[in-house]
Structure 1
Amino acid sequence: MIDLYYWTTPNGHKITMFLEEAATPYTLHGINIGNGDQFQPDFLRISPNNRIPAIIDNAPAGGGEPISVFESGAILLYLAEKTGRFIPQDLRGRTDALQWLFWQMGGLGPMAGQNHHFATYAPEKLPYAIDRYVRETSRLYGVLNKRLADREFIAGAYSIADMACYPWIVPHERQQQDLNEFPHLKRWFEAIAARPATIRAYDKAQSINSAPTIHTEAARKLLFGQDAHTVK
């Protein structure tokens, strides 16, 4: 049994997508990041970076004590290796999937996240910052669109690379991106959206957070006002 500590963000959706695809039993624990649940001592013991998602695997391979994992990319890789699913088993295929997983972790996620921040959450709208991150998001969409021109999924068969990237494309309108400009990406996006496991994963989000809203000032302070003192 997997305990998943989760909130309804792109990084959270990655993990429910995997668990639903793999039919892996799990218990969902909501960590309301707008209320500061991520700073609770019990959560920090498994996620010292005070970020969701995190998991506890209560039945790790080989037995022994439960294993906790934080960081969405590390969790996807851990689950893929545990189940033997959604990661190619040959060297070239595995390398392909992992490099696109890290591409999302190091590029698409952070850049789209900054896009969200400056366009939606920042108290002062800074044209340079908004333009910078909208353009970089567009560039990354272009990279992914080109990758998908001659293949169904990012690394051939459906894999953790697709699960990592898809939730960051879901808010494309908020990122000021038109999927019609990226036809191969749009085809891929629609195919994943129609998968039963994806539908189930996003339905789970509704059970945890049925009415997402723009953050209150208190929530903004929690989410965007952290510094070194936060972790001391």
Structure 2
Amino acid sequence: MTDLSSFPVTKKWPAKNPDIIQLYSLPTPNGVKVSIALEELGLAYEAHRIEFGAEGVKSPEFVSLNPNGRIPALIDPNGPDGKPIGLFESGAILVYLAEKTGKLLPADVAGRYETLCWVMFQMGGIGPMFGQFGHFFKYAADKVANNSYPMERYRDESKRLLSVLEERLKTRKWLMGEDYTIADIATFPWVRGADVFYGGREALDYASFPAVMAWLERCLARPASAKGLEIPA
């Protein structure tokens, strides 16, 4: 049995089976990226629900795993050289899992880097911009009731990013063509989330992006997506 005692997070959220991957997360657009990938890859894992706030993501135990105090984070007891490794940042975790298994990332160097470009497009663009749109559109609407600029700024940038996806997907089944990759897994939860979490479908004019909407439906239809979107319960 693997000894994970060097990771303080396992004291607050004990591992029932320390020989499998330990996932610390919530079913948010960022969190479900990792659970969906784990389901796609068929890797055994144990999910721990980490709430927001002082007892969850801001607790010393969790911060010891992710200094930034954000989900998701992960411990792989069978990391490089067979030693346990702790990871944070959803994009980094997706790359790690893909490279660990040799799946969801093209084997050829050019394809690999093109896929990583689209992962970084999500990490640096879609995630932050959609998140800010949602904040001002839904959660802080009362605070900016007399100033529409913040919501409009992030709405318009989110729509611009959707137009980039639209052009990419007009002639492709997946972001990388015929192969489903971590680029799709990184991105589609945010496109779904802007509607499901923020109610932004009409504000972002989803009807104007038919290729994106068709791609989103294909992503959601995958069995691993259906399961991963609900983890941790």
Answer whether TM exceeds 0.5 for this pair.
yes
Shift of 1:195: 0.5
CA contact (8 A) 1:172 1:178 kept: no
Distance in structure 2 (CA, Å) of the matches to 1:9 and 1:171: 8
TM-score (norm 1): 0.85
Please say if 1:7 is aligned against 2:34: no
Distance in structure 2 (CA, Å) of the matches to 1:193 and 1:14: 12
Match of 1:218 in 2: none
Match of 1:136 in 2: 157
Secondary structure of the 2:27 match is coil
Secondary structure of the 1:10 match is coil
Deviates more, 1:129-138 or 1:167-176: 167-176
Please say if 1:97 is aligned against 2:122: no
Selected match of 2:59 from 17, 36, 40: 40
Secondary structure of the 1:69 match is strand
Secondary structure of the 2:229 match is helix
Please say if 1:190 is aligned against 2:217: yes
Shift of 1:34: 4.8
CA contact (8 A) 2:38 2:45 kept: yes
Shift of 1:177: 2.1
Distance in structure 2 (CA, Å) of the matches to 1:45 and 1:144: 36
Offset from partner CA, 1:37-85 (integer Å, 9 cap, x none): 1111111111000010000001114212x10011010010011111111
Please say if 1:88 is aligned against 2:106: yes
Deviates more, 1:164-173 or 1:96-105: 164-173
Shift of 1:171: 2.6
Match of 1:58 in 2: 77
TM-score (norm 2): 0.84
Alignment of 1:1-232 (within 5 A): 1-34=20-53, 36-64=55-83, 66-122=84-140, 123-125=142-144, 126-156=147-177, 157-173=179-195, 174-175=199-200, 176-205=203-232, 207=233
Distance in structure 1 (CA, Å) of the matches to 2:191 and 2:214: 12
CA contact (8 A) 2:130 2:194 kept: no
CA contact (8 A) 1:172 1:179 kept: no
Aligned-partner residue type, residue 167 of structure 2: K
The unaligned stretches of length 5 or more in structure 2 are: 1-19
The unaligned stretches of length 5 or more in structure 1 are: 208-232
Distance in structure 2 (CA, Å) of the matches to 1:146 and 1:140: 10
Task: Flag as ranges the 4+ runs of structure 1 deviating above 3 A.
Answer: none
Distance in structure 1 (CA, Å) of the matches to 2:85 and 2:118: 25
Corresponding residue pairs, total: 205
Shift of 1:35: 6.0
Distance in structure 2 (CA, Å) of the matches to 1:153 and 1:161: 9
Backbone CA RMSD of aligned residues: 1.3
Match of 1:215 in 2: none
CA contact (8 A) 2:39 2:224 kept: yes
Give the % identical residues: 43
Aligned-partner residue type, residue 101 of structure 1: V
CA contact (8 A) 1:87 1:159 kept: yes
